[in-house]
A and B are shown apart, each in its own frame.
Chain A
Amino acid sequence: MSTPDTEKTLSVRDLRVRYGEREILHGISFDVPRGETLVILGGSGSGKSTLLRTLVGLQPATSGEVWIRGQDIAKLSEEDLDETRKKIGLSFQGGALFGSMTVGENVCLPLREHTQLEESTIQIIMRLKLEQVGLAGFENYMPSQLSGGMKKRAAVARAMAMDPEILFFDEPSAGLDPIIAAGIDNLILKLKKAFRMTIIVVTHELASAFLIADSMLLINKGDIVAHGSREEMEKSTHPRVRQFLDRVPEPEVAEEMDYLQMLTGEAPPRAL
Chain B
Amino acid sequence: MAFFDSIGRNAIGGLAYVGGLARLSGRAAYYTLIGPFRGKALRWSRAFHQAMAVGVEALPILSTITFFVGLILALQGAYELRKFGALQYVAGGVAVSMTRELGPLMTAIVVIGRSGSAFAAEIGTMKVTEEIDALTTMALNPIQFLVTPKFLAMIVMLPCLTTWADFMGVMGGAVFGVTGASFTFGGYVQATLDALLKRDIITGLIKAVMFGAVITAVGCYEGFETGGGAEEVGRSTTSAVVMSIFMVIIVDLIFTSLFYLLGR
Q: How far is the CB of B124 from chain A (nearest CB, A)?
A: 13
Given A56-B137, A94-B130, A96-B131; 5 other pairs, CB 8 A cutoff? A85-B136, A85-B137, A92-B133, A93-B130, A99-B126
- Taking a contact as CB atoms under 8 Å apart, the answer to whether B138 and A110 are in contact is yes
- Taking a contact as CB atoms under 8 Å apart, the answer to whether A83 and B130 are in contact is no
- The docked-state distance in angstroms from the alpha carbon of A97 to that of B133 is 11
- The docked-state distance in angstroms from the alpha carbon of A86 to that of B141 is 12
Residues of A within 8 A of B138 (CB): 85-86, 109-110, 113, 158
- Taking a contact as CB atoms under 8 Å apart, the answer to whether A83 and B139 are in contact is yes
- The docked-state distance in angstroms from the alpha carbon of A250 to that of B234 is 37
Interface size in chain B (residues, C-beta < 8 A): 13
- Taking a contact as CB atoms under 8 Å apart, the answer to whether A58 and B133 are in contact is yes
Q: A residues 76-114 with Cβ under 8 Å of B?
A: 82-83, 85-86, 88-90, 92-94, 96-99, 109-110, 113-114
A-B residue pair count with CB separations less than 8 angstroms: 50
Q: Chain B, 130-166, contact with A by CB distance < 8 Å: what is the 0/1 string? A: 1101101111110000000000000000000000000
Q: List 23 A-B contacts (CB under 8 A).
A: A53-B133, A57-B137, A58-B137, A83-B139, A85-B136, A85-B137, A85-B139, A86-B138, A92-B130, A92-B133, A94-B129, A96-B129, A96-B131, A96-B133, A98-B131, A98-B134, A99-B126, A99-B129, A110-B139, A113-B138, A113-B139, A113-B140, A114-B139
Q: How far is the CB of B139 from chain A (nearest CB, A)?
A: 4
Question: Cβ of B244 < 8 Å from any Cβ of A?
Answer: no
Question: Cβ of B66 < 8 Å from any Cβ of A?
Answer: no
Question: Cβ of B125 < 8 Å from any Cβ of A?
Answer: yes
Q: How far is the CB of B80 from chain A (nearest CB, A)?
A: 51
Residues of B within 8 A of A97 (CB): 131, 134
Chain B residues with a Cβ under 8 A of chain A: 125-126, 129-131, 133-134, 136-141
- Taking a contact as CB atoms under 8 Å apart, the answer to whether B139 and A82 are in contact is yes
Among A57, A96, A110, max chain B CB count under 10 A is at A96
**Closest Cβ neighbor of B49 among chain A residues:** A100
- The docked-state distance in angstroms from the alpha carbon of A89 to that of B139 is 10
Residues of A within 8 A of B134 (CB): 90, 92, 96-98
Q: How far is the CB of A67 from chain B (nearest CB, A)?
A: 18
- Taking a contact as CB atoms under 8 Å apart, the answer to whether A86 and B139 are in contact is yes
Q: How far is the CB of B138 from chain A (nearest CB, A)?
A: 5
**Closest Cβ neighbor of A84 among chain B residues:** B139
Residues of B within 8 A of A114 (CB): 139
Residues of B within 8 A of A158 (CB): 138
- Taking a contact as CB atoms under 8 Å apart, the answer to whether A88 and B137 are in contact is yes
Among B125, B131, B139, max chain A CB count under 10 A is at B139
Q: A residues 17-74 with Cβ under 8 Å of B?
A: 53, 56-58
**Closest Cβ neighbor of B132 among chain A residues:** A96
- The docked-state distance in angstroms from the alpha carbon of A109 to that of B133 is 15
Residues of B within 8 A of A94 (CB): 129-130
- The docked-state distance in angstroms from the alpha carbon of A86 to that of B140 is 10
Which listed residue, B125, B133, B139, touches A99 by the CB 8 Å rule? B125
- The docked-state distance in angstroms from the alpha carbon of A56 to that of B134 is 11
Residues of A within 8 A of B139 (CB): 82-83, 85-86, 110, 113-114
Residues of B within 8 A of A98 (CB): 126, 131, 134
Among A89, A93, A99, A158, max chain B CB count under 10 A is at A99
Q: How far is the CB of B27 from chain A (nearest CB, A)?
A: 11
Residues of B within 8 A of A82 (CB): 139, 141
**Closest Cβ neighbor of B130 among chain A residues:** A96
Q: How far is the CB of A59 from chain B (nearest CB, A)?
A: 10
Q: How far is the CB of A166 from chain B (nearest CB, A)?
A: 11
Residues of B within 8 A of A113 (CB): 138-140
- The docked-state distance in angstroms from the alpha carbon of A182 to that of B136 is 29
Q: How far is the CB of B50 from chain A (nearest CB, A)?
A: 12
**Closest Cβ neighbor of B137 among chain A residues:** A90
**Closest Cβ neighbor of A83 among chain B residues:** B139
Rank and list the top 3 A-B pairs by shortest CB-CB distance, nearest first: A82-B139, A96-B134, A96-B130
- The docked-state distance in angstroms from the alpha carbon of A110 to that of B134 is 11
Residues of A within 8 A of B136 (CB): 57-58, 85
Q: How far is the CB of A53 from chain B (nearest CB, A)?
A: 8
Residues of B within 8 A of A85 (CB): 136-139
Residues of A within 8 A of B125 (CB): 99
Residues of A within 8 A of B131 (CB): 96-99
Residues of B within 8 A of A57 (CB): 136-137
Among B125, B129, B136, B138, max chain A CB count under 10 A is at B138
